[in-house]
Amino acid sequence: HPNKPVFKQITNTPERIARIMADGNPVAWFQGRMEFGPRALGGRSIIGCPSVPGVADRINEQIKFRERWRPFCPSMLDTVASQMLKVDHPSPFMTFTFEVNEGWKERVGEVVHEDGTSRAQVLERRHNPRWYDLMLELEKLTGNGVSLNTSLNRRGEPMICSPTDALNMFYGSDLQYLIMEDILVVKEGKGWYDGV
Q: Which CATH number fits domain 5-187: 3.40.309.10, 3.90.870.20, 3.40.50.620, 3.40.50.1820?
A: 3.90.870.20
Q: Using alpha carbons, select from 16, 11, 10, 43 the residue that is nearest to residue 29.
A: 43
Mean pLDDT by groups of 10 residues along the chain of 196 residues: 76 97 97 86 96 95 82 96 93 94 96 96 96 98 98 90 94 95 86 50
d(CA 102, CA 85): 9
Residue 194 confidence (pLDDT):
47
Note the pLDDT of residue 182. 97
pLDDT score of 195: 47
Alpha-carbon distance of 132 to 135, in angstroms, equals: 5
Element (H, E) at 183: strand 183-187
Q: What is the DSSP letter of 158?
A: P
Cα(86)–Cα(116) distance, rounded to whole angstroms? 11
Count CA atoms within 13 Å of residue 122 on its CB side: 18
Beta bridge partners of 46: 28, 150
pLDDT of residue 31: 96
Residue 98: per-residue pLDDT? 97
Give the type of residue at 158.
P
What are the sequence ranges of the domains in the chain?
5-187
The CA distance from 42 to 56, in Å, is 17
Per-residue confidence (pLDDT) for residue 2, from 0 to 100: 55
Cα separation, 85 vs 101, in Å, equals 6
